[in-house]
Structure 1
Amino acid sequence: MFKRFFLILILLTIFAAGSAQPADPADYPTLTALEQAVIPVRDRLLLGRELLGITEIAPPPTEPETYSLGERRSFKALNTSVNQIFQFEAELKGIGEHIYIWIDTRSDVTIENAQGLADIFDSKIYPETRDLWGVEASPGIDADTRVFGLFTIGLGSSVAAYYSSSNTYPSEVVADSNEHELFIYDLGAAGEDIDAWMVQSTTAHEFQHMIRDNMNDVQDSWLNEGLSVFTQLYLVYDDGAWSATAYQDNPETQLNAWGEGNTGAHYGGASMWVTYFYERYGLKALQTVSLTNLPSMTAFDHYLQAAGEPGADRLFADWVLANWWRDTDLAEG
């Protein structure tokens, strides 16, 4: 009885809001200007010259370097728990058509496991994620069409893997850059069976970030993460359910923000929003929004109003109600 009463109350609130006279945008010029402002992309090369006084930047290579199985190289990674960069040695243990797999020499990951991940990246993760979102920078800063998958130890207590655009800049501008398009994984989270489905899922997540960095790097963090978790779900790696539960346990979590506390709830809210939009309007609509050069919620509002829909505020109200009711038999889910 209470649930039915609460549903009626929410519907009355929505309809009352929908029947109110909209405010004239001219009454709020500052708000309108903020909503329409396009923040310039951070150009780290330009900033390096202007703020760091950098005058000499070596030209990028025009031909990729050749690597062989068993070769060893030094790399850098970030320990997020102490916010410190550390250096380590890694061995090349897997080579695919589109990826190199490098393993920290302190680990016992086998060539078979490394090659297994390279193979599944080539056959599934690479083509399907590109079909969804577009392409990574290829060739990248190293003139190579292959990306790097780098496995090490000690990324921090809460990090399974990460992609950082810092690695795509020359070391003159970003001193700790590896100067490759790469993902970095923590072996403490991945384990030694790095071709397991969990690592495949993580790879799809991080590859979306790499593509997003090339296709639309002004996207807000919360939406970028939502698109990555959606990618895991869409590619039938369904481990995103844990974050949805985290959000449902903390529904007060702000959707269009990214805090330092309960990140699980942020991942969950973002992925549930993206999935709800996809189920309501389809994949092409989501792809269009993902490429819109507008702040996150404004991008949804822009698409919806162009399609003759009420807008993002109304969709958000529908989404909140759907999360509370959780009944797919109701109209529109």
Structure 2
Amino acid sequence: MSDHGGYWQRVGVVLVFGAIGALLSAGGALAWNASPDTGPGGAPFEPGEGAGPEWGCPSPHSPVPAKISPEKSTNARVVGEHETFRVDGSAFNTTCVQVGRHCVISVEEGARVDPAAITQLRQDFDEIIYPLVTETFGAETDVDGEERVYIAIIAGPGDWVGVFDPLSLLSINHKDVFYIDLKSASGAGFAATAAHEFQHLVHCGHDFDEGYMIDEGCSLYAELLYANFSTEHLPEFDVYRHHPEVSLHWPEDEYLERRNMGAHYGASGLWILYLSEQYGDLSGDPDHAHFIRDLVEEHANGFEGVDAVLARHGYDDRSEDIFKNWTIANYMDDTGVNPRYGYDSIDFAAAVPVEAMVEFNAPEPNDGSYSFPPVTLPAWSAAYYTIGSDDVGNLSYTCEGNCWCQCIEEANRTATVVVSPLNVSGDAVLTVHAEGGREHTREKYSSHGT
């Protein structure tokens, strides 16, 4: 799984907090809202002089005014200008190849990127990504007064797609910049990666220490918005649905050790999408049109931050209530049964595998019951079980291990039960009881080998 830019979000938090705090206390402006047809200070854009025919990019008409400090002044960037960026202890020498209304695109010296791909990225960023991300998540901090975001295309180490480094924001490069790997500088994922990393940059400026669950979830949500809700290039959603035993809460060690990355990305993205559809931007209620932006600005993190924003928007539901419905939605995806039990914006390609199955199909004079083998589940994860019976309406369920369980579907003589330990980790044991039936143990199986 490629790195979507998170390691440095942890090592840079103190510097980011200190510098942003200083800017706020000094009364510095943190954003610029210009007309889409004008440059900084309202100046119109004109074709850039000196731009080679290969690139053919515009350059701004006037210098960028200082926004953070009265003493600071930054000249407009021009094609051919050299810039060195430092990322994770390495220096990358780049050359500016295009300047857009909202972005400056630089490529590592000696590298070759298709000019048409660069032009498409500039157009997508200026016309789609920048307005979409800033409207949904908030304005970028603009620490350099440049009024544009730097996109540096470099050959980074390892298997990564894009990186946002908070240290680049302030202490090292002092620029609003994110990075895209050269290997990714083409194809359908090029601009989607820009949307993903730009969200990280925006998020850092509003809530520098937000955890992976919310921050990475917002970046997956940004990709989804950019793709107009097409999941063709977001396999992470189905990866998670095939591994619901992975925790929604993204532990630090799993992130740094790169374990279960696809499932964690998918869970986080689906969580933000679900919040948006059910309670926020995509709910259709104009009073909650900026729910996700409020979540980005909320300084409380994780579930605590979600609960704070829910309360601010007047909802009684809290994270635990929502998590229960979310686990059902991930399995059923059927808002016709219950508006809370699915997604309106996306469709899933495959069904969720069950943890285990048992069949109650031999009537007996005595009651039948069956306890599934214990399954160890981390907090905020789930497992699904299928029970067959000629009379599913007479089934009942108990779960040992202080877990929550709920029958979520009864159809075609089959019942499905979801189990979750909610906010604690532990062993879950689901027991199924049937009036007048006894299980056929030879017909039970497990999709996970338990």
Please report the TM-score for the alignment, with normalisation by the length of structure 2.
Answer: 0.54
**Mapped contact 2:178–2:197 kept (Cα < 8 A):** yes
Q: Distance in 1 between matches of 2:197 and 2:270?
A: 18
Q: Distance in 2 between matches of 1:231 and 1:45?
A: 24
Q: State the AA in 1 paired with 2:330.
A: N
Q: Distance in 1 between matches of 2:202 and 2:119?
A: 23
Residues 196-249 of structure 1, C-alpha deviations (whole Å, 9 max, x = no match): 431111111111111111122232222100011111112225356311111112
Q: Which residue of 2 aligns with 1:277?
A: 275
Distance 1:60 1:276, change over 3 A: same
Q: Distance in 2 between matches of 1:197 and 1:252?
A: 31
Q: Which residue of 2 aligns with 1:267?
A: 265
Q: Distance in 2 between matches of 1:300 and 1:186?
A: 32
Q: Give the root-mean-square deviation of aligned CA atoms.
A: 2.4
Residues 272-315 of structure 1, C-alpha deviations (whole Å, 9 max, x = no match): 11111111113133333332221210122234456342421111
* Greater gyration radius: 2
Q: Distance in 2 between matches of 1:245 and 1:73?
A: 40
Q: State the AA in 2 paired with 1:322.
A: A
Q: Distance in 1 between matches of 2:121 and 2:248?
A: 33
Query: What is the CA distance between 1:96 and its match in structure 2?
Result: 0.5
Q: Which residue of 1 aligns with 2:72?
A: 62
Q: Which residue of 2 aligns with 1:151?
A: 153
Q: Distance in 1 between matches of 2:77 and 2:311?
A: 51
Q: Distance in 1 between matches of 2:336 and 2:211?
A: 33
Q: How many residues align?
A: 263
Asked if 1:236 is matched to 2:241, the reply is no
Q: Which residue of 2 aligns with 1:94?
A: 98
Which of 115, 123, 136 is the aligned partner of 2:140? 136
Q: Distance in 1 between matches of 2:106 and 2:211?
A: 30
Q: Distance in 2 between matches of 1:183 and 1:326?
A: 35
Q: State the AA in 2 paired with 1:167.
A: S
Asked if 1:330 is matched to 2:343, the reply is no
Structure with a larger share of its residues in strand: 2
SS for the counterpart of 1:42 is helix
**Mapped contact 2:137–2:292 kept (Cα < 8 A):** no
Residues 63-89 of structure 1, C-alpha deviations (whole Å, 9 max, x = no match): 1134321233333234xxxxxx32232
Q: Which residue of 1 aligns with 2:316?
A: 309
Q: State the AA in 2 paired with 1:271.
A: G
Which of 215, 235, 242 is the aligned partner of 1:224? 215
> What runs of 5+ residues in structure 2 fail to find an aligned partner?
1-12, 20-68, 282-288, 343-450
SS for the counterpart of 1:241 is coil
1:1-333 correspondence runs (5 A): 42-43=14-15, 62-78=72-88, 85-138=89-142, 140=143, 142-157=144-159, 159-170=160-171, 177-188=172-183, 190-191=184-185, 193=186, 196-236=187-227, 238-239=230-231, 241-258=234-251, 259=254, 260-283=258-281, 284=289, 285-305=291-311, 307-332=314-339, 333=342
**Mapped contact 1:223–1:256 kept (Cα < 8 A):** no
Q: Distance in 2 between matches of 1:318 and 1:250?
A: 17
Distance 1:45 1:106, change over 3 A: same
Distance 1:132 1:305, change over 3 A: closer
Q: State the AA in 2 paired with 1:149.
A: I
Distance 1:322 1:135, change over 3 A: same
Distance 1:247 1:182, change over 3 A: same
Q: Distance in 2 between matches of 1:290 and 1:329?
A: 31
Query: What is the CA distance between 1:46 and its match in structure 2?
Result: 5.6
Q: Which residue of 2 aligns with 1:28?
A: none
Residue identity (%): 24
Tell me which moved more, 241-250 or 289-298.
Answer: 289-298
SS for the counterpart of 2:139 is coil
Q: Distance in 1 between matches of 2:120 and 2:178?
A: 17
Query: What is the CA distance between 1:270 and its match in structure 2?
Result: 0.5
**Relative contact order, higher structure (CA 8 A, sep 6+):** 1
> What runs of 5+ residues in structure 1 fail to find an aligned partner?
1-40, 48-58, 79-84, 171-176
Q: State the AA in 2 paired with 1:184.
A: Y
**Mapped contact 1:92–1:101 kept (Cα < 8 A):** yes
SS for the counterpart of 2:303 is helix
Q: State the AA in 2 paired with 1:244.
A: F
Q: Distance in 2 between matches of 1:292 and 1:134?
A: 12
Q: State the AA in 2 paired with 1:187.
A: L
Q: Which residue of 1 aligns with 2:47?
A: none
Tell me which moved more, 292-301 or 90-99.
Answer: 292-301
SS for the counterpart of 1:217 is coil
Query: What is the CA distance between 1:156 and its match in structure 2?
Result: 1.5
Q: State the AA in 1 paired with 2:145.
A: A
Q: State the AA in 2 paired with 1:214.
A: G
SS for the counterpart of 2:174 is coil
